[in-house]
A and B are shown apart, each in its own frame.
Chain A
Amino acid sequence: MNINSAIRRLNQIFIVLFLGLSLGLVYWQVAVAQQVTSNIHNIRQCMKDHAPVRGKIYDRNGVLLAESKPIDPNNPFKGVLCGYQRHYYLDGMPSLANLIGFYISPLFNSTGIEHAFDDYLSGRAGLTELTNNLNLILHRPPVGDNIYLTIDTRIQKIVERDFDKYAPSYNPPVPELKIDNDNVFATNRGAVIVTDPHTGEILAMVTRPTYDSNRVAAGDLAYYNQLLRNPDAPLLERPVQGQYVPGSVYKAMTLLAALDTGTYQLNTPSFDYQHAVGPVTIGGEVFAPQLSNIYHVSYARTFPVSMNMGFSHSDNVMFAVIGSKLGADTWLEYNKRFYVGQDIPFDLPVARSSVLPPNGQLPPNLLAENSFGQGVDLVTPMLISLIDDAIANNGVLMRPMLVSRIQAPDGTIIKSMSPQTLSTPVSEQTAASAREAMYGVVRCGSGSVIPELYNSPWNIIAKTGTGQVGGGKAAHGWLMTQAPYQDPRLTIVSMRENAGEGANVNGPAVAAMYNDIYTSVLKLQQPAPADPSVPYCAQHGLWT
C-alpha cells in the first residue's frame, strides 16, 4: 500500500508545521509578550485590572514629588485618564516638570523620568514584575516601584529662585570694558545644572521656560497641544536636550587637551604678540586682532604671554593657535573622552554634542574656530557640566546620576545606584592646572568684572562663554563654575539663551546660588579668603 506511506509522511509534515505554529505562539505569548502588550495602542492597559498603581517619585531626602491618586470625579478631562491621575508637587521647583516629565495614562507617551523609568514605575521590571505576574493572574491591579532622585529639593528651590531673581535686565557694570560681546539682553530661556563632581549626583537642574505638568497629567490635551506649538519649547529639558554654541567655555576643552598632552604649560610664556593677538592665518582663514578679546585690553602690553593669560581673558586667537598646534586628531580625541558625538551614560536621554561638520572632516580653519568654541561646536549644558566635573574631581569623570535608588512599595530596595567612575579623561595635574586657570578667570580675567563673583566668600572659579549664534540673534551666555577653589564641593553650569555676555548674565545668579546653598543647605565653613588679586595676577603675568 503505497498511499499509506504517503499519508504517514503527510501526517509527519503536518505535525512539524503545527509544532512550528506552537513555536510562533510561544514567541508572541512569552518571548515578546511584555514588549507587545506595553504598546500604547493596547487599551487593555487602561482597564481596571491592568492600570497600574504607579510608583511614587521622591527627592534624595524623601520629599514626595509625584504620586498617583484615583481620578478626581470633578476633573473635566477624566475620560482621557485610566483609573488614576498623576499629581506633582513642584511648588517653587517648576523645572522638575521637565525633569520628571508627565504621565497621563499608558495610552500616551510620557516624558522625562516618568518615561525613562516607566518599567519600574509601572512595575514591569525587577522583583516587582514577579509580584505583578501573580497580581495579573489573581486579577489584582499591578503596583509600581518608587523612585528616589538625587535632586535635593532645597537646592533645587534655591537655584530656581536665584536664576530668576538675577535674570539679566540691566547693563554690564563696567560698560567701557570690551569683554566678549558685552551687550546683555533679557531672555526667558536658559538652563542650570548643579552637580556634586565627586559622585556625579545631580543636585538641581533648572530649565526655562517650564510648564504645568499637573495640567497635562490631568488630561488637558488642549493645553498640551498649545505647549507643543509654543516657539519657546517649554516642554524641552534644556540641560540635556538643548544644543547650543558654547563659545569660550569650550576653551576649557582645548586647555585640557593642551595641558594633558604637555603641548603647553599653563604659566610658560609661549605666545608672542602675533600668536596672542593676531593676525594669524590658519587654513587660509585670517584670525584678526579684533577677534582676540585682548586687543583692546590696555594692560596686556608685555609679550610673550602664557596660556593662563589667554584663558583668563578669553583670547580667541591664542586658542585658535593652540588648537591648530594640537591637531584635529588630538583635539577630537579629548572631545571623545568627554562623550562628544556619543551618548552620555545618564538616566535621561542626552542629545549628542557634536564638533564635526556634516561631512565628518575637520579642516584646519574649522579646527581653529572650534578650539575657542565657535566653528561647528554644538553642545548640551550636560556636556559642559561633565568637563566642569572632571576638572573639579582631579580628572576623574563620574557617571552623572539622577536616580539614587528604586524601592518596591513595601520598602525593599530593588536597585541602589552607587557613584560610578566612568574614566579618567585627564591627569590629576592637568585638572589642578585647569582649576588654576579658572581661578585666574575670576581673579584677573573675564570673570573679575562681576563683583558678585569676584567678591564671593566661597572662592568661585569659573570660565565664561559667549556663544555667537549669528542670524542677528544675541549670543548664548555661559558660565561654567566650581567652588570653593581649594576643594570644589559643587559645580554649577549656567546658560541663558540669546542673553549676551556670559559672565554678566550668569555671574550674579551663580554667586547667589553658591552662597545660598553653602550657607543654608550644606552649612559649609567659609574657606580661607582668596589670594589678593594683585599679587597673583601680576605674578603670573595676567595683569601687566
Chain B
Amino acid sequence: MTFRYRWKELGLFIIPFLILLLGMSQLLLANRDQTSSLSTRNLPPIQGLIPILGLIALFVTVNIVLSFFFSRADQMLLPLVGLLSGLGVLMAMRIGPDINRPTLGTQQLIWVILGIIMCMVTLFGLRRMQWLERYKYTWAVLGLVLVCVTLINTLHVKNLDSPTHDQLKLGPFAFQPSELLKICIVIFFAAYLSENRDILAGKGPRFGPFRLPPLRQLGPVFMMLGIALLLFLVVRELGLALLIYGLFLCMIYLSSQKKSYVFFGLLLFALLALIGYSLFSYVRTRFAVVSFDVVNWQHWTAAQTNFAENQGFQIVQGLITLSSGGILGAGLGLGHPTIVPVVESDMVLTAFGEELGLAGLLALIGLYLLLIYRGYRIAMEARDPFNQLLAAGLTSIFALQTLIIAAGNIKLLPLTGIPLPFLSYGGSSVIANYIIIGLLLRISHNTALEREGLA
C-alpha cells in the first residue's frame, strides 16, 4: 500500500466531466419553454446541475481513494466507464419525464453510485485472486442456483412475453440473476480452463482432417453451457444464450488458441440454431423481424403494415428513431425517442442515435473499443493464465453484450432484452458491470505489484 497520486486518471476525467456538465446544461435548456427567447431571466436554475456535480465529486473521491490503496490499478478504465455511465444517467434523466417516470434519472444515478460502491467493495474485499480460482466450483454452483432461481421464477410468472419475466423481485428491488450469472460463468470458465489448459492444447480424438477437443476434460464446461442454453429455451432469453455461447467460444479459443475449436463451436451453434428454428415457433417469430423490410414501406402489404403496428412496432419505431438522428442528431433533449417502447433499456442505442446522431454513436463505439482494448491489455499483462483468462473473459462480456444488443437494435439480429453496458437503465446491469470493472482494476493492480516485486 504505497501512495502514488493517480494524476493520469484525474487528467483523463477532465473531458468526461466537461461533457457531462455540458450535456446536463443542454438538457436543462432543452426542457425549458422553447417558445420564449433565451435571456438571463428565464435561464434554468443552476441546481439542475447538482446530480452531475455529485457524480463528479464521487469519481474524484474514488480517484483519491484509489491513489491511496490501489495506486497501480489501470488509470483509463474509470474515466471511460465514468463517461459512459454518466451519459446513461443523462439519458435516463432525459427520457424519464417523457415516459411518466420522472425519477428515472435519479434512480439511475443511485444505481451508478451503488455500482461504484460495489466496485470498491470488490477491490477491497477480494484480497487474493486465488479465492476465485480455488473455489471455482462454488462459483459454478452459485451460477446454477441463479439459473434455478430464474427457472422457478419463470414458472411462477407464466407470461413469457412480459419484459420483466426474468427478473427476481426482492422487496422493492427487481433483480436480474442473469447479470451475475455471466460473471460466475466467466470465473468458472477461467479457473477450469486455465487448470486444464495443457490438456486442451493437446491432441483430442480425430475427426477426418480435424482434431476434436479432448471431450472428457471439457465435460464440466459443456455442462455449464448446456444448462445455460436450457435456461434460454425455458426463459426464452435469446440474448443471454447468445452472450453465454459467445463467451464460451471466446474462452475456449483463448485457452486453447485453436481455431478449429471455434470452427466446431460455430458449426454446433449453427446446428443448434437450425434445430431451434425448426422446433420453436417463438424463435421463428423472432427471426421474422430480421427479414422485415423497413426501408421500402411504400410497398408494405396489409400483413406487413399490421406487423409494423403490432409485433414489429418496437423495432420499426426504433429504426425510424435511429434514422431520424441523421449525421449530427437532433440534440440532447430535442428528439422524440420515447415513441419507442422500452427505449430506456433495450432500445437506448436508438435514443442516443436520434439525439446525438451518427457522430455521437461512432464516439460511443469508440469509447467501447477503448474500454475493450484496455481490458484486453490488462489481460495480456497479467502474470498467470487464470488472471489472463479472467480479465479477457470479463472484457469479452462488454464486447459481446454491446454487439448483440446493438445488432438487435439495427435489425441484424432478433431484438433481445439484454442491456447496453453502462448506457441502459437498470440497476442489476450497472452494478454487475461495475463489479467487472472492480475485478479488472484489481487484476491490473496485482499485475503491477507483482511486476515491481512487491507482491
Q: Is the pairing of A and B real?
A: yes
Contact B376–A11 (Cβ < 8 Å) = yes
The A-contacting residues of B in range 327-377, CB under 8 angstroms, are 327-328, 330-331, 334, 336, 339, 353, 357-358, 361-362, 365, 368-369, 372-373, 376
Task: Tell whether A42 is near chain B: CB-to-CB under 8 Å.
Answer: yes
Task: Tell whether B71 is near chain A: CB-to-CB under 8 Å.
Answer: no
* Residues of chain B contacted by A17 (CB below 8 angstroms): 399, 403
Contact B297–A41 (Cβ < 8 Å) = yes
Taking the closest CB of chain B, its distance from the CB of A228, in whole angstroms, is 15
Contact A3–B389 (Cβ < 8 Å) = yes
Produce 1/0 per residue, A215-246, CB < 8 A to B: 00000000000000000000000000000000
* Residues of chain B contacted by A10 (CB below 8 angstroms): 250, 253-254, 376, 392, 396
Contact B254–A6 (Cβ < 8 Å) = yes
Task: Tell whether A420 is near chain B: CB-to-CB under 8 Å.
Answer: no
Contact B323–A36 (Cβ < 8 Å) = yes
Q: Which of A24-32, A154-162, A453-461 contacts B (4 or more CB under 8 A)?
A: A24-32
Task: Tell whether A130 is near chain B: CB-to-CB under 8 Å.
Answer: no
Task: Tell whether A2 is near chain B: CB-to-CB under 8 Å.
Answer: yes
Task: Tell whether B98 is near chain A: CB-to-CB under 8 Å.
Answer: no
A2 to B353 CA separation, bound complex (whole angstroms): 39
Contact B358–A29 (Cβ < 8 Å) = yes
Taking the closest CB of chain B, its distance from the CB of A396, in whole angstroms, is 35
Contact A25–B254 (Cβ < 8 Å) = no
Task: Tell whether A298 is near chain B: CB-to-CB under 8 Å.
Answer: no
Task: Tell whether A43 is near chain B: CB-to-CB under 8 Å.
Answer: yes
* Residues of chain B contacted by A174 (CB below 8 angstroms): none
Contact B392–A47 (Cβ < 8 Å) = no
A10 to B256 CA separation, bound complex (whole angstroms): 13
* Residues of chain A contacted by B357 (CB below 8 angstroms): 29
Contact B412–A24 (Cβ < 8 Å) = yes
Partner of A44, one of B309, B319, B320: B320
* Residues of chain B contacted by A29 (CB below 8 angstroms): 322-323, 325-327, 353, 357-358, 361
* Residues of chain A contacted by B326 (CB below 8 angstroms): 29-30, 33, 133, 136
Contact A41–B320 (Cβ < 8 Å) = yes
A3 to B317 CA separation, bound complex (whole angstroms): 43
Chain B's closest residue to A25 (CB) is B361
Task: Tell whether A5 is near chain B: CB-to-CB under 8 Å.
Answer: yes
Task: Tell whether A522 is near chain B: CB-to-CB under 8 Å.
Answer: no
Chain A's closest residue to B380 (CB) is A4
* Residues of chain B contacted by A44 (CB below 8 angstroms): 320, 324, 336, 339
The B-contacting residues of A in range 174-223, CB under 8 angstroms, are none
A14 to B309 CA separation, bound complex (whole angstroms): 35
Contact A21–B406 (Cβ < 8 Å) = yes
Taking the closest CB of chain B, its distance from the CB of A118, in whole angstroms, is 11
The A-contacting residues of B in range 269-305, CB under 8 angstroms, are 294-297
A46 to B358 CA separation, bound complex (whole angstroms): 23
Task: Tell whether B44 is near chain A: CB-to-CB under 8 Å.
Answer: no
A40 to B316 CA separation, bound complex (whole angstroms): 12
* Residues of chain B contacted by A47 (CB below 8 angstroms): 336
Task: Tell whether B64 is near chain A: CB-to-CB under 8 Å.
Answer: no
* Residues of chain B contacted by A8 (CB below 8 angstroms): 376, 380
Taking the closest CB of chain B, its distance from the CB of A107, in whole angstroms, is 12
Task: Tell whether A303 is near chain B: CB-to-CB under 8 Å.
Answer: no
Contact A25–B309 (Cβ < 8 Å) = no
A18 to B410 CA separation, bound complex (whole angstroms): 13
* Residues of chain A contacted by B327 (CB below 8 angstroms): 29-30
* Residues of chain B contacted by A40 (CB below 8 angstroms): 297
Task: Tell whether A22 is near chain B: CB-to-CB under 8 Å.
Answer: yes
Chain B's closest residue to A38 (CB) is B297
Task: Tell whether B220 is near chain A: CB-to-CB under 8 Å.
Answer: no
Task: Tell whether A137 is near chain B: CB-to-CB under 8 Å.
Answer: yes
Contact B295–A7 (Cβ < 8 Å) = no
A22 to B296 CA separation, bound complex (whole angstroms): 22
Task: Tell whether B447 is near chain A: CB-to-CB under 8 Å.
Answer: no
Produce 1/0 per residue, A295-322, CB < 8 A to B: 0000000000000000000000000000
* Residues of chain A contacted by B146 (CB below 8 angstroms): none
Contact B372–A14 (Cβ < 8 Å) = yes
A1 to B447 CA separation, bound complex (whole angstroms): 15
Taking the closest CB of chain A, its distance from the CB of B267, in whole angstroms, is 17
Task: Tell whether B308 is near chain A: CB-to-CB under 8 Å.
Answer: yes
Taking the closest CB of chain A, its distance from the CB of B7, in whole angstroms, is 27
A32 to B297 CA separation, bound complex (whole angstroms): 12
Task: Tell whether A139 is near chain B: CB-to-CB under 8 Å.
Answer: yes
Chain A's closest residue to B256 (CB) is A6
Produce 1/0 per residue, B404-446, CB < 8 A to A: 0011001010000000000000000000000000000000000
A44 to B324 CA separation, bound complex (whole angstroms): 9
Contact B295–A32 (Cβ < 8 Å) = yes
Contact A41–B317 (Cβ < 8 Å) = yes
Task: Tell whether B314 is near chain A: CB-to-CB under 8 Å.
Answer: no
Contact B297–A39 (Cβ < 8 Å) = yes
Task: Tell whether A35 is near chain B: CB-to-CB under 8 Å.
Answer: yes
* Residues of chain A contacted by B368 (CB below 8 angstroms): 18
Chain B's closest residue to A33 (CB) is B323
Taking the closest CB of chain A, its distance from the CB of B241, in whole angstroms, is 18
Given contacts A5-B257, A6-B254, whether A21 and B319 have CB atoms under 8 Å apart is no
A43 to B296 CA separation, bound complex (whole angstroms): 17
Taking the closest CB of chain A, its distance from the CB of B232, in whole angstroms, is 21
Taking the closest CB of chain A, its distance from the CB of B162, in whole angstroms, is 25
* Residues of chain B contacted by A534 (CB below 8 angstroms): none
Chain A's closest residue to B382 (CB) is A3
The B-contacting residues of A in range 103-145, CB under 8 angstroms, are 133, 136-137, 139
A41 to B308 CA separation, bound complex (whole angstroms): 8
Task: Tell whether A15 is near chain B: CB-to-CB under 8 Å.
Answer: yes
Contact B365–A21 (Cβ < 8 Å) = yes
Taking the closest CB of chain A, its distance from the CB of B364, in whole angstroms, is 10
Contact A37–B323 (Cβ < 8 Å) = yes
Contact B316–A41 (Cβ < 8 Å) = yes
Taking the closest CB of chain B, its distance from the CB of A34, in whole angstroms, is 8
* Residues of chain B contacted by A2 (CB below 8 angstroms): 201, 257
Contact B297–A7 (Cβ < 8 Å) = no
Contact B410–A7 (Cβ < 8 Å) = no
Contact A22–B410 (Cβ < 8 Å) = no
Task: Tell whether B240 is near chain A: CB-to-CB under 8 Å.
Answer: no
Produce 1/0 per residue, A40-71, CB < 8 A to B: 11111001010000000000000000000000
Task: Tell whether B255 is near chain A: CB-to-CB under 8 Å.
Answer: yes
Given contacts A18-B365, A18-B368, A41-B309, whether A28 and B376 have CB atoms under 8 Å apart is no
Chain A's closest residue to B362 (CB) is A22
* Residues of chain B contacted by A21 (CB below 8 angstroms): 365, 403, 406-407, 410
Task: Tell whether B90 is near chain A: CB-to-CB under 8 Å.
Answer: no
Task: Tell whether B379 is near chain A: CB-to-CB under 8 Å.
Answer: yes
Task: Tell whether B108 is near chain A: CB-to-CB under 8 Å.
Answer: no
Chain B's closest residue to A24 (CB) is B410
Taking the closest CB of chain A, its distance from the CB of B453, in whole angstroms, is 19
Contact B389–A42 (Cβ < 8 Å) = no
Chain A's closest residue to B254 (CB) is A6
Taking the closest CB of chain A, its distance from the CB of B245, in whole angstroms, is 15
Task: Tell whether B67 is near chain A: CB-to-CB under 8 Å.
Answer: no
* Residues of chain B contacted by A15 (CB below 8 angstroms): 369
A-B contact pairs, 23 of them (CB 8 A): A5-B257, A6-B254, A7-B376, A8-B376, A14-B372, A15-B369, A18-B365, A18-B368, A21-B365, A21-B406, A21-B410, A22-B362, A24-B410, A25-B353, A25-B361, A27-B410, A28-B410, A30-B326, A33-B323, A33-B326, A39-B320, A41-B309, A43-B339
Known: A11-B372, A21-B365, A32-B323. 13 other contacts (CB 8 A): A10-B396, A11-B373, A14-B369, A14-B372, A21-B410, A30-B327, A35-B295, A36-B294, A36-B297, A36-B320, A39-B294, A41-B308, A44-B339
Nearest 5 A/B pairs, CB to CB: A36-B323, A33-B323, A29-B358, A39-B297, A24-B410
